[in-house]
Amino acid sequence: MFRFLRRLFLVVLILVIAGATYALWPRTGDLRGFDVDAVARLETGMWRDYYAKDYKNLAQRLYTMYRDIYHFSPADSARLAYNAGQAAKVFQPTGSRAEAQVALPFLISYYTLLRDKSGEFFDVEKAAKLELDWWQLRRENVTPQQYGEVVAEVAEVVFNAQNEHVTKSGIQRAVMMRYRDDRRGGGMTEEDWAHIEKHLIEAYRELKTGVARTP
């Protein structure tokens, strides 16, 4: 009996060590080689979670995206999901630009980790402030074209890529945000969400073209 328990303990210990090694082993994420359809599908779901205030499901989708689509380690994926999710959660109830600053520390932590674990090189504070800026612009009297250009600026900073594809991607995403906003009073249908996903696929296809690595 003692011998059996000792063997069982060793098996469990090996499994725990293997699991921890898999989760914590350092690896570099890939922000450019993503699956367009998968990212668009996950983002559509995250929009639904955000407006339903389902932060648990939002965090799960974020984790899935970073781990399965961008190939970060499980530990880094969890940290990225936490910071992105917390930024959205604390921003949602704010009512002014001053109040919205509560989300900035989470965005800075998020972009710092994204930079350090992806192999990209960019100005973290600039990316975080631009991200928060377009979040706030959506609440103000500006057009999708205007805040879509700021969405594109975030990608330009992160990928050091400035071209028509990146700009078009940001504006397409903003147009879909306005589409959702215009229909929220009457309630979003499944057809509406399918329409958004279809156009987000187009937006992310443009982004992937715009940030593709040159030989």
Judged against a pLDDT cut of 70, whether residue 9 lies above it is answered with no
Residues of 105-143 as b/e, b for ≥16 C-beta within 10 angstroms? ebbbbbbebbbebbebebebeebbbbbbbbbbbbeeebe
pLDDT at position 1: 57
Taking the alpha carbons at both ends of the chain, their separation in whole angstroms is: 62
pLDDT at position 19: 39
Judged against a pLDDT cut of 50, whether residue 177 lies above it is answered with yes
pTM for this model (two decimals)? 0.85
pLDDT at position 149: 97
The domain limits of the chain are 2-211
pLDDT at position 73: 95
Q: Round the average pLDDT of the chain to a whole number and report it.
A: 88
Give the model confidence (pLDDT) of 15-57 as tens digits.
333 333 434 444 579 999 999 999 999 999 999 999 999 999 9
pLDDT at position 3: 54
The three-state secondary structure class of 162 is coil
Give the model confidence (pLDDT) of 87-125 as tens digits.
999 999 999 999 999 999 999 999 999 999 998 999 999
The residue behind tokens 């030989």 is 215
Mean pLDDT of 147-169: 97
pLDDT at position 187: 81
Which token pair is 68?
A: 């399965």
Q: Are 129 and 104 in contact (CB under 8 A)?
A: yes
Band (pLDDT 50/70/90 cuts) for residue 86 is very high
Task: Give the single-character DSSP code of 139.
Answer: T
Mean pLDDT of 168-181: 96
The three-state secondary structure class of 187 is coil
pLDDT at position 185: 59
Q: Are 144 and 171 in contact (CB under 8 A)?
A: yes
pLDDT at position 113: 97
Give the model confidence (pLDDT) of 183-204 as tens digits.
875 688 999 999 999 999 999 9
